[in-house]
Amino acid sequence: MKLILMLLACATFLGCSSTKFDGVDYKPLFVAEADLNENWIGNTKGYKVVDGALVTQKKAGNIYTKEVYQDYVFKFEFALPPGGNNGLGLRIANPDNKAVFRDVAYGGVELQILDDTHPSYKKLKPWQFHGSAYGLAAAKKGFLKPVGEWNTQEVYLRGNHLVVRLNGEIIQDVNLSEVETNQSPYNKKQLGAGRNRGAGHIAFAGHGENVKLRNIHVARLADDYSIPQTKDNVAPEGFTALFDGKSLDNWKGLLLKPHDKPHMRKGLSGDKLAELQKKADESMNKHWSITENGELFFDGAGFSLATEKKYKNFEFHVSWKIEKNGDSGIYLRGLPQVQIWDPSNLKMRKHGNEKGSGGLWNNPDVGKFPLVVADNPTGEWNHFFIRMIGNKVTIWLNGKLVVNDAPLANLWEKGKPIPTMEQIELQCHGDPVWFKNIYVKELP
């Protein structure tokens, strides 16, 4: 009876995870020779088509999908020679982007494709075996077919949830945001630096020759994961609600100038801090209130609202609404700002408002303006999902990716690193604004 229950539990687990790979609309990326130049860029000359398979040559190098993908299921078959070594890059930056390290294990996330049974790999770290997210998360071992035989692998990536199925067995199931990065055993660089990138190319990293690849397909998944499906002000699983629709618990008034900036209030403590915070809270209580519908309302006067707690790496949900020509923003670690404004306001054209909300407007270049206009009309609710890891920020507005792994600039102390831990702020910009559904998840 005990054995039957164990088998049923195993079957239930595999069945549940397997459904992630079922019922998706696969499109071919390589099934015939013409597909190599049609669907891939990079060092395509390092891959030869032999008997319907891509075969890596000496110094094969990287090839990348021509298209960029956000959430997807990727399926392929591979056969390894003795000691064979390759890698699958997930959401990799364009190879022409000189600001990102070209090695996919550092500039992105690399899944190992490796004959880890070979004697030369007997001293591998757990996160170096086949199917592992290199430097991030170890995969289950023992499910590769013998050298030379064809394996089938499927990769599910939705948000930062990664699931890998090898020959019918789930060998990896992890949230990449919730694991610590490791330093490379070969240099001092951190691995998996691009793990919070919202979209990117899929890549094969040609580390060794005679690795065979065939029947390569991809299926895009709906990208609405960033909008919670819970009731208003009820946190989704894994998140903490910072606003319950009833009180200003978890919040405080932002200190008045010049102590509104992190570096200016850093040395404050004791009676002085308490005195300044009392004044800030008095202003908060005059201008921030809660509506009958459980919405957080700012009347347009007074000053910004700040979280009681400081945050390092995090994921953050917030719904917001503005009136016509309204302007506001979200400060991350006390720094401006994720922009909120009315794209139809003709008076703000010189500042680029027609490009939409969600950009890191105080950045000098990368991330300053959103990738797409995703705003709903003024008077309707919008929703941000923000992921911040290190100094990098990725933002979705209404389910659409608007900032992709951009470094947040330090406006207050130009040229200096941003604070490693600070408060999140809802910006006062002189206009009425409404907020709700404010949730946070702390990350390592």
Give the integer Cα–Cα distance in Å for 346 and 315.
33
**Torsion angle in degrees (nearest 10) through CA of 324, 326, 330, 335:** 150
Amino acid in position 184:
S
Residue-level pLDDT at 17? 54
Give the integer Cα–Cα distance in Å for 149 and 165.
17
The two tokens of residue 126 are 């757990």
Query: How many Cβ atoms from other residues are within 10 Å of residue 240's Cβ?
Result: 12
Task: Judge whether 18-220 and 240-443 match in fold.
Answer: yes
Do residues 99 and 107 touch, judged by C-beta distance below 8 A? no
Rg (CA), the chain: 24
Residue-level pLDDT at 2? 36
Q: In 260-394, where does DSSP find H-type helix?
A: 262-265, 270-287
Architecture per CATH, domain 18-220, reads as Sandwich (2.60)
Residue-level pLDDT at 180? 87
Q: In 252-391, where does DSSP find H-type helix?
A: 262-265, 270-287
Residue-level pLDDT at 18? 63
Strand partners, 305: 253, 426
Residue-level pLDDT at 292? 96
Burial of 391 (0-12, 13-18, 19+ CB in 10 A): middle
Taking the domains of the chain in order of start, what are their residue ranges? 18-220, 240-443
- For the chain, helix, strand, coil in percent to 5 are 15, 35, 50
Do residues 392 and 192 touch, judged by C-beta distance below 8 A? no
For β-strands 109-114 and 251-253, DSSP reports them as: unpaired
Question: Which CATH number is associated with domain 240-443?
Answer: 2.60.120.560
Helix (H) or strand (E) holding 166: strand 161-166
Give the integer Cα–Cα distance in Å for 217 and 203.
13
Backbone region of residue 229 per phi and psi (left: phi > 0; alpha: psi in -120 to 50; beta: other values): alpha
Residue-level pLDDT at 101? 64
Residue-level pLDDT at 12? 36
Phi, psi of 278 (to 5 degrees): -60, -45
Cis amide bond preceding 70, omega within 30:
no
**Torsion angle in degrees (nearest 10) through CA of 81, 215, 31, 198:** -110
Residue-level pLDDT at 367? 96
The two tokens of residue 174 are 């992890």
pLDDT in tens, 235-244: 999 999 999 9
Give the integer Cα–Cα distance in Å for 360 and 146.
50
Phi, psi of 436 (to 5 degrees): -160, 180
Residue-level pLDDT at 347? 96
Residue-level pLDDT at 111? 98
Residue-level pLDDT at 418? 98
Cα 423 to the center of its chain, rounded Å: 20
Give the three-class secondary structure for 214: strand
Give the three-class secondary structure for 342: coil
Q: Which residues does 10 contact at the CB level (< 8 Å), separation at least 6?
A: none
Print pLDDT tens along the chain (444 aa): 333 333 333 333 344 456 789 889 999 999 999 999 999 999 999 999 999 999 999 989 999 999 999 999 999 999 999 999 999 999 999 988 776 667 899 889 999 999 999 999 989 999 999 999 999 999 999 999 999 999 999 999 999 999 999 999 999 999 999 998 888 888 888 899 889 999 999 999 989 999 999 999 999 998 877 889 999 999 999 999 999 999 999 999 999 999 999 999 988 989 999 999 999 999 999 999 999 999 999 999 999 999 999 999 999 999 999 999 999 999 999 999 999 999 999 999 999 999 999 999 999 999 999 999 999 999 999 999 999 999 999 999 999 999 999 999 999 999 999 999 999 999 999 999 999 999 999 998
Largest CA distance in the chain: 78
Residue 127: closest CA among 175, 59, 181: 181
